[in-house]
Chain A
Amino acid sequence: EIVLTQFPGTLSLSPGERATLSCRASQIIRSRSLNWYQQKPGQAPRLLIFGASIRATGIPDRFSGSGSGTDFTLTISRLEPEDFAVYYCQQYGNSQFTFGPGTRVDVK
């Protein structure tokens, strides 16, 4: 079973700053298999990035994804007030989906 680790656990930043979130897989995964979601309190998760680097419909271009192999990154170029949330990476393989533990981005 592939395990996803996310770091840091919490990222404290100010609006306008750049956020860099990491997701590491316990073994090599296909880039197409890595997705990112955003979740705000009391809401369902929202798809941000699929296939490691493709923005989902309606997602602003300040969000970008990159990476391959075991190491993947979600970058928010300039944090807007609505971007403070929890972010999860997720992978799939052998009919199984797995989520990382999440990174909380909060206001410094």
Chain B
Amino acid sequence: QVQLVQSGAEVKKPGASVKVSCKTSGYSFTGGYYIHWVRQAPGQGLEWMGWVSPKTGGTHYAENFQGRVTMTRDTSTSTVYMEVSRLRSEDTAVYYCAREESVDTTLMLDFWGQGTLVTVSS
């Protein structure tokens, strides 16, 4: 069965960086399924951050995160990574990875990781 398992909670100081992993299994990692990252601040809604193509390594970031987010993948371990630099308190959130599925021309996020809480505090 498809599974996305994320790394554990992190506590970081303002200005630091954090790197969250998302290990996938149960499907072909390089089979054309993009992995997206979505975050959710405490008590708030979902905010889309961008995607990475495990097949090519290509990426696309939301405008709000360009220059501060880097998404990468390791095909040997079927794992994708999302790194946020220059952290500030407003980056405190649960970060989710999710797999993009395509049916005809319809795109959707069909499987999600369990989420990783990143707390930014001095």
Interface size range of chain A in the complex: 20 to 34
CB distance from B118 to the nearest CB of A (A): 15
Known: A44-B115, A96-B62, A97-B36. A56 touches B48 (CB 8 A): no
CB distance from B100 to the nearest CB of A (A): 9
Contact: B110 with A56, CB < 8 Å?
A: yes
Contact: B48 with A99, CB < 8 Å?
A: yes
Interface residues of A (CB under 8 A from B): 1, 32-33, 35, 37, 39, 44-47, 50-51, 54, 56, 88, 90, 92, 95-102
CB distance from B56 to the nearest CB of A (A): 14
Asked if B108 is an interface residue, CB under 8 A from chain A, the answer is: yes
Asked if B47 is an interface residue, CB under 8 A from chain A, the answer is: yes
Contact: A35 with B48, CB < 8 Å?
A: no
What are 14 of the A-B contact pairs (CB < 8 Å)?
A: A1-B63, A32-B106, A33-B106, A44-B98, A44-B115, A45-B109, A47-B109, A50-B108, A51-B103, A56-B108, A88-B46, A97-B48, A99-B38, A100-B45
Contact: A101 with B45, CB < 8 Å?
A: yes
9 interchain residue pairs of minimum CB distance: A44-B112, A50-B108, A97-B48, A51-B106, A99-B46, A32-B106, A95-B60, A102-B45, A101-B45
Question: What chain B residues lie within 8 Å of A102 (beta carbons)?
Answer: 45-46
CA distance A37 to B98 in the complex (A): 12
> Dominant SS at the B interface?
strand
Question: What chain B residues lie within 8 Å of A37 (beta carbons)?
Answer: 46, 109
Known: A44-B96, A46-B112. A96 touches B106 (CB 8 A): no
Contact: A44 with B48, CB < 8 Å?
A: no
Question: What chain A residues lie within 8 Å of B96 (beta carbons)?
Answer: 44-45
Beta-carbon nearest neighbor of B97 in chain A: A44
Question: What chain B residues lie within 8 Å of A101 (beta carbons)?
Answer: 45
Known: A44-B113, A50-B108. A99 touches B45 (CB 8 A): yes
Mark out the residues of chain B between 26 and 53 whose CB falls within 8 Å of any chain A CB in the assembled complex. 36, 38, 45-48, 51
Question: What chain B residues lie within 8 Å of A45 (beta carbons)?
Answer: 38, 46, 96, 98, 109, 112
CA distance A98 to B38 in the complex (A): 10
Asked if B114 is an interface residue, CB under 8 A from chain A, the answer is: yes
